[in-house]
A and B are shown apart, each in its own frame.
Chain A
Amino acid sequence: MTHILIRGGRVIDPSRGTDGVADVLLGDGRILAVGRGVAAPEGALVIEAAGKVVAPGLIDLHVHLREPGQEDLETVASGAMAAAAGGFSAVCAMPNTDPVTDNQAAVGFIVSQAQRAGKARVYPIGAVTLGQRGEQLAEFGELVGAGAVAVSDDGKPVGSSHMMRTALEYARTFGIPVANHCEEMSLALGGAMHEGLISTRLGLKGIPAAAEEIMVARDIILAELTGGHVHLCHMSTRGSVELIRRGKERGIRVTAEATPHHFSLTHDRCAGYDTNAKMNPPLRESKDVDAIRQGLKDGTIDVIASDHAPHHYDAKEREFDLAPNGIIGLETALGVAIRDLVEPGILTLPELIDRMSTRAARIFNLPGGTLAVGAPADVLVLDPTERWVVRPETFRSKSRNTPYGGAELVGRAHQTVVRGRIAFDISAP
């Protein structure tokens, strides 16, 4: 196997707390050496990284790859390519496929499609309940055996507290988290955006912050009751951050993620009925954005996840009430995060790498997230200062539904190495 030497970059490894100029040598799918003056073996591919940052490949705990069922929107292969282009060496695919990823065969299919694609790693997340119907537990043991790394009913929250309790208890056997989309449905039903002044002006039914916070509170209480690990998806409100902070202070096994859009955009973006500002949870208020940023800073929110959700333009090109929720994010997450978290001084670059890689690997118990010798050769080379304008037509994703089209972002993946092979190189078309 060809060796890769990444030479002269600023090597940031939050897993070891290191940050300094070094060379990184990769071979046999592993990290072979990190240090100064590492010699390039015969025939090694050399990446000159002076002025760049070398970090563990990013890991996204929350994406939707649409395969099987909606391959016109995204496939495992196109999603894995988009991931690599965004600097991600691994993503976790939510189970809301068609059919639902609720059995070992379905999990195995995604694993094999990802292997065939050979780009970013794709870890399936299995369903909590059969068909995401909330009625009968899926076979967690078989899901994990086939390669699932967590369970979640994704956009269909586990509404029954009994079912959530059982899932948290049962998941302990396999050491996996139960990831929940927190939404109390009787409050949220029919809502199209955040409930507030903008929804009042636009005449759109709002989703109050309380709909999320009630279920966040419930899930933390159930995690305490069961000792299980609850992972709270895409937190969007100040109240949620406060609840998680208190839960963590009490030693409860709760982890949480936030999306780039929830720390960079507010509900004002819905004005004009822009359906690329329609997502669930909805874009909230500036006080919520501030709280999410602070939560990421102090570790209350563990990780940044994209909630990459491809939709066809036809589906978004319609009445706001009728358009589907969600935006794609794999190819913009890093640039939004550096622009809106690192540039304003909220996170340092090592802290950002931690929230986008090291911590993600740790809380879902995944390989990667480290540049320790012997670790998998999943490495990102990024330019942290490059300013670039988002052109959705150039995305590797099959979909274009983004609110960042035309926006200037800061920081961009230049090479993404997965399993010791270059999965993305910005200079290669």
Chain B
Amino acid sequence: MPVDAGVPSLGKDLIGLETLSAAQIQFILDTAEPFKEVSERAIKKVPALRGKTIVNLFFEASTRTRISFEFAEKRLSADTVNVATQGSSVSKGETLVDTARNLEAMRIDMVVIRHGASGAAQFLGDRIESNVINAGDGKHEHPTQALLDMLTLRDKFGRIAGLKVAVCGDILHSRVARSNIWGLIKLGAEVGVCGPPSLLPRGIEELGVTVLPRIEDAIAWADALNVLRLQLERMQAGFIPSLREYNRVFGVTRDRLSRAPKDLVILHPGPMNRGVEIDSDVADGEHSVILPQVTNGVAVRMAVLYLLAGGTGAAAAAARGEAA
């Protein structure tokens, strides 16, 4: 892959932020900047990935992430195919390795994979030559979500370094939390985690985060809250007694926010449970950046697709100019 001097390559795949350097993460965010503008045009298309074929391989239900990737691919002029497990050979018992080899035999360039098993994206990346982008693997990582979260924070604050970001909720089962922790720390932010101890993973402090025992602590400490979805299944599995009590003890409410020393920026990766982890008046309030996150998601994914396909940051700007 041709790379300008001093411009970091991302390697073949984007599996997670744990293995990326600060420079690589910064580079993706910088590359996303010119792509933001593409989506604001009347004709939302640049030819950067013309002739590339991309498979969106979704083993788990997803609306936002899948559509965001698909828009990103189409706005870069790639040819895309969506494979959902329902109705595919996967539902006939085909193994992941066989699915991968069959796709590869069709000479595709990239695979975007969402899978319920941690490690599935790396498994695929280790076995095929095409670029693999992790769109969420089990409880492991969801790197493009964290990248769009960071891009949104950077838009809002003008920087990441020195920010205090509290990730709130079900950290134990969250790939979004893990990717945010890696990415934010690498870019110099301080990261706090807040949730019931039954939903905090063992050894989380060793990742370099501050554990904030109560939501009031998180609100008093943070510049921004990234509020995670609390899934109903966690109640059935005995991690928390009820969604109602969760809202009472850990919910991000206007009342709690009103006692903060400063205005907090509110992020949420979606889909939201209004009235559980976040109240509607917070989600829809003036400090919520939940919809800008979604907009940035397309730009960040365009940047990742473009860089893995061999583009450089300078060429991204050129691609924009070329189409303008």
A residues in contact (CB < 8 Å) with B: 195-197, 199-206, 208, 272-273, 314, 317-322
Q: Kindly list 6 other residue pairs between chains A and B, CB separation below 8 angstroms, not including A202-B118, A273-B122, A318-B95.
A: A203-B137, A203-B138, A206-B201, A319-B96, A320-B119, A321-B138
The answer, yes or no, to whether B36 is at the interface (CB within 8 Å) is no
Q: Please, which residue of chain B has its CB at the minimum distance from the CB of A200? A: B201
Interface window among B2-10, B202-210, B218-226: B202-210
Cα-based distance from A320 to B119 in the complex (angstroms): 7
Residue of B117, B122, B141 near A321 (CB, 8 A) is B117
Return 13 A-B CB contacts under 8 Å, by A number: A197-B206, A203-B119, A203-B139, A203-B140, A205-B139, A206-B201, A272-B122, A317-B95, A319-B96, A319-B115, A319-B117, A319-B123, A321-B117
Cα-based distance from A203 to B18 in the complex (angstroms): 12
Given A196-B202, A318-B96, are A201 and B18 neighbors across the interface (CB < 8 Å)?
A: yes
- Determine how close the nearest CB of chain A comes to the CB of B101; give it in whole angstroms: 11
Residues of B within 8 A of A318 (CB): 95-97, 123
Residues of A within 8 A of B120 (CB): 319
Residue of A196, A200, A201, A322 near B117 (CB, 8 A) is A322
- Determine how close the nearest CB of chain A comes to the CB of B57; give it in whole angstroms: 13
- Determine how close the nearest CB of chain B comes to the CB of A95; give it in whole angstroms: 29
Q: Please, which residue of chain B has its CB at the minimum distance from the CB of A189? A: B237
Residues of A within 8 A of B123 (CB): 273, 318-320
- Determine how close the nearest CB of chain B comes to the CB of A49; give it in whole angstroms: 46
Cα-based distance from A202 to B140 in the complex (angstroms): 5
Residues of A within 8 A of B141 (CB): 203
Most buried by A among B95, B97, B141, B202: B202
Q: Please, which residue of chain B has its CB at the minimum distance from the CB of A197? A: B203
Residues of B within 8 A of A314 (CB): 95
Number of interface residues of B (CB under 8 A): 24
Q: Are B202 and A201 in contact (CB under 8 A)?
A: no
Residues of A within 8 A of B95 (CB): 314, 317-318
Residues of A within 8 A of B201 (CB): 199-200, 206
Q: Please, which residue of chain B has its CB at the minimum distance from the CB of A206? A: B202
The answer, yes or no, to whether B186 is at the interface (CB within 8 Å) is no
Q: Please, which residue of chain A has its CB at the minimum distance from the CB of B18? A: A201
Q: Are B139 and A204 in contact (CB under 8 A)?
A: yes
Residues of A within 8 A of B97 (CB): 317-318
Residues of A within 8 A of B75 (CB): none
Residues of A within 8 A of B18 (CB): 201
Beta-carbon contacts under 8 Å, B180-227 to A: 201-204, 206-207
Cα-based distance from A322 to B115 in the complex (angstroms): 12
Residues of A within 8 A of B137 (CB): 203
Q: Please, which residue of chain B has its CB at the minimum distance from the CB of A317? A: B97
The answer, yes or no, to whether B175 is at the interface (CB within 8 Å) is yes
The answer, yes or no, to whether B45 is at the interface (CB within 8 Å) is no
Cα-based distance from A199 to B119 in the complex (angstroms): 11
Residues of A within 8 A of B122 (CB): 272-273
The answer, yes or no, to whether B178 is at the interface (CB within 8 Å) is yes
Q: Which 3 A-B pairs have the closest CB atoms?
A: A203-B140, A203-B139, A273-B119
Cα-based distance from A200 to B178 in the complex (angstroms): 9
- Determine how close the nearest CB of chain A comes to the CB of B139; give it in whole angstroms: 3
Q: Please, which residue of chain A has its CB at the minimum distance from the CB of B119? A: A273
Q: Are A203 and B178 in contact (CB under 8 A)?
A: yes
Given A203-B175, A314-B95, A319-B96, are A196 and B203 neighbors across the interface (CB < 8 Å)?
A: yes
Residues of B within 8 A of A199 (CB): 201-202
Given A317-B97, A318-B96, A318-B97, are A200 and B119 neighbors across the interface (CB < 8 Å)?
A: no
Cα-based distance from A417 to B201 in the complex (angstroms): 51
Q: Please, which residue of chain A has its CB at the minimum distance from the CB of B200? A: A200
Q: Are A320 and B117 in contact (CB under 8 A)?
A: yes
Residues of B within 8 A of A197 (CB): 202-203, 206-207
Given A203-B137, A203-B140, A203-B141, are A321 and B202 neighbors across the interface (CB < 8 Å)?
A: no
